[in-house]
Amino acid sequence: MRSHINTRAPLAHEVLCVVLQVRLGTLQVVLWQRALDPHIGRWSLPGGRLRADEDVETSVRRQLAEKVDIRKLQHVEQLAVFSAPDRVPGPRVVATAFLGLVPSEADPAMPEDTAWHPIEELPRTAFDHQAIVLRARDRLRSKLSYTNIGFALAPEQFTISALRDIYAAALGHKVSPTNLQRVLSRRGVLKPTGATVPPGRAGGRPAALFTFTSTGMQVTDPFAVLRPPGTR
């Protein structure tokens, strides 16, 4: 059976970004709803065609700012290149995908056709965008184990219990706050601010506030894995 792909057609290049944030206790992604064919009505990752005068990271940052008004990205990294000849209908388009992380306290304005969606409850997506989202989720989960990338999901200051909730949402399983504090403190990732938050209605001791020692990604333990409880 002969392929219907035109091997002489010009090759287009687009950039896409999987923007993740912990919102309402879940890991969520920004998607916008397509208004035109192909795949009209389906949800897509923000992005677009690469201009001749820009590199891929400049392009994705520009398009996030222009199209979905996301300007506060604490961390951006290239995720992968998706180049299957039939990944989109029609002329071939190669996509360079990025992972972008937004801190939990940010609430960027969204156009009407754009919304946050829990990764575990994705709507019907266009093209190969679901696979790209899941690749980004897995990248984040992996890096939470051996880097300090949690700084990009957390607010500037936080309690250990609040940080535990962020890690649990991103990893998709329960996390012990005591173990989390011990591991991150041993790696030199966290430091106390000296400030506290008042106790809640139930009383108790004021909770200490912490911050990350660095807001640039660093490998802290290349052999570490944060596994779900009960696994080895």
Burial (CB count within 10 angstroms: exposed 0-12, middle 13-18, buried 19+), residue 70: buried
Domains present along the chain, CATH in parentheses: 13-144 (3.90.79.10), 146-212 (1.10.10.10)
How would residue 70 be classed by pLDDT, with cut points 50, 70 and 90?
Answer: confident
Query: pTM surpassing 0.85?
Result: yes
Token code pair at residue 86 = 């039939």
2: pLDDT strictly greater than 50:
no
How would residue 4 be classed by pLDDT, with cut points 50, 70 and 90?
Answer: low
- Better-scored residue on pLDDT, 133 or 69: 133
For 142-173, the three-class secondary structure string (H helix, E strand, C coil) is HHHHHECHHHHCCCCCECHHHHHHHHHHHHCC
pLDDT computed for residue 39 by the predictor: 96
Q: Is residue 54 classed as helix, strand or coil in its secondary structure?
A: coil
Token code pair at residue 134 = 């899941």
Q: Which amino acid is at 204?
A: G
